[in-house]
């Protein structure tokens, strides 16, 4: 249950030094009285200048963030995953990549959390520029639709978290879920569909299937996929 993992009280409580040690070192200075200052004041200051900008919601085994890491080497990104063992696997995967590729993969991390409850604990208003919802669980029965990670209510939260111009990427192999996600986004006043041209030009799009473990599985079975990409607009854009 949720009690098994810590949840940051606010986004300023997210431990950036833990997730991105190369960017945010803990301050081990020696105070005048000889005590070792193990505080993270320095990292908190730096946190204000560099923040997580991409979030992969329900990241599974982490294939997407691993691929995005080298495509956007200066962007901090995080995978959010509710399953403990899967999260641990992704942590190990990132540590191993950092070890075998010195200086690389420092911009990605993973956290075990319930993204349906705690997104506002991790990100400030307008902080993110990309959110990914790749092959989310379908929750077929109507009474379980409220468990879907894209819903009218949760889209309010995602709109709050995304900067104006930020993009939500969704993909699924379940047609009904694809229709649902698209309809929720179309109906929301703070999102607009992305044009075909922009879709074709975005280097991230091909990774939605090629980089994720679930996408690779679907591709192996020659399965069809349903993609929806929407931009966060500001209310004045719609006037
Ligand atoms: N996105 C990955 C991919 O494309 O390979 C994984 C897709 S998998 C079908 C869905 C993932 O979402 C699972 O790993 C599941 O544990 C995770 N998940 C489901 N509900 C979640 C929640 N509320 N918070 C965080 N992760 C969740």
Residue 224 has pLDDT above 60, yes or no: yes
Going 59 to 137 to 199 to 207, the CA torsion angle's sign is positive
Would the annotation count 82 as a binding residue? Answer: yes
Tokens 């990549």, residue located: 97
> Residue 3: its pLDDT value, please?
54
Are 56 and 67 in contact, with CB atoms under 8 Å apart? no
C-alpha distances in Å from residue 18, one per residue of 21, 110, 149, 168, 169: 6, 11, 27, 27, 27
Determine the pLDDT at residue 42. 45
ipTM > 0.95 (yes/no): yes
- Computed over every residue of the chain, the mean pLDDT equals 90
pLDDT at 196: 87
| CA dist., res. 115 & res. 7, Å (int) | 11
The more confidently predicted of residues 57 and 31 is: 57
Tens digit of pLDDT for each residue in 101-115? Answer: 999 999 999 999 999
Q: Does domain 50-238 have CATH number 3.40.50.150?
A: yes
Q: Contact 162/232 with Cβ under 8 angstroms?
A: yes
- Pocket test of ligand 1: the residue of 2, 66, 87, 137 to mutate, having most ligand atoms within 8 Å of its CB, is 137
**Distance, CA of 236 to CA of 209 (rounded, Å):** 34
Polymer length in residues for the chain: 239
Residue 41 pLDDT > 90, yes or no?
A: no
Residue 33 — pLDDT band, cuts 50, 70, 90?
low
> Ligand 1 centroid vs 58 CA: distance in angstroms?
3
What is the reported pTM?
A: 0.91
Distances 193 to 49, 146, 238 between C-alpha atoms, Å: 30, 23, 13
What's the mean pLDDT in 141-151? 91
- Given a contact cutoff of 8 angstroms between Cβ atoms, the answer to whether 206 and 71 are in contact is no
The pair of three-digit structure tokens given for residue 98, joined into one six-digit string: 């950092």
Residue 34's pLDDT is 52
Confirm whether residue 107 is marked as ligand binding: no
Q: Choosing from 2, 84, 137, 187, which is the catalytic residue?
A: 137
Catalytic site includes residue 137: yes
- The predicted pLDDT at position 29 comes to 52
- Tell how far the Cα of 59 is from the centroid of ligand 1, in angstroms: 6
Strands, DSSP E only, in the chain?
29-30, 36-37, 52-57, 76-81, 108-112, 128-134, 162-172, 191-193, 226-232
| Residue 153 pLDDT | 94
- 229 CB near ligand 1 (under 6 Å): no
Summarised one tens digit per residue, pLDDT across range 150-186 is 999 999 999 999 999 999 999 999 999 999 999 999 9
């Amino acid at each position: 249950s949720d009690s098994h993992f810590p949840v940051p009280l606010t986004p300023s409580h997210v431990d950036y030094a833990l997730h991105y040690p190369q960017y945010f070192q803990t301050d081990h200075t020696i105070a005048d009285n000889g005590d070792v200052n193990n505080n993270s004041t320095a990292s908190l200051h730096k946190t204000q200048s560099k923040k997580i900008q991409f979030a992969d919601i329900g990241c599974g085994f982490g294939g997407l963030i691993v691929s995005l890491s080298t495509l956007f080497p200066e962007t901090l990104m995080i995978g959010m995953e509710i399953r403990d063992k899967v999260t641990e696997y992704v942590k190990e995967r990132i540590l191993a990549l950092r070890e075998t590729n010195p200086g690389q993969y420092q911009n990605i991390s993973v956290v075990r959390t319930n993204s349906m409850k705690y997104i506002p604990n991790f990100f400030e208003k307008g902080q993110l520029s990309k959110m990914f919802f790749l092959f989310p669980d379908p929750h077929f029965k109507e009474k379980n639709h409220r468990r879907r990670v894209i819903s009218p209510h949760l889209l309010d939260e995602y709109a709050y978290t995304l900067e104006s111009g930020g993009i939500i990427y969704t993909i699924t192999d379940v047609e009904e879920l694809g229709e649902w996600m698209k309809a929720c986004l179309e109906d929301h006043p703070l999102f607009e569909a992305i044009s075909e041209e922009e879709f074709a030009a975005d280097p991230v799009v091909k990774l939605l299937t090629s980089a994720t473990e679930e996408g690779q599985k679907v591709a192996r079975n020659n399965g069809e996929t349903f993609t929806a990409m929407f931009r966060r607009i500001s209310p004045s854009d719609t006037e």
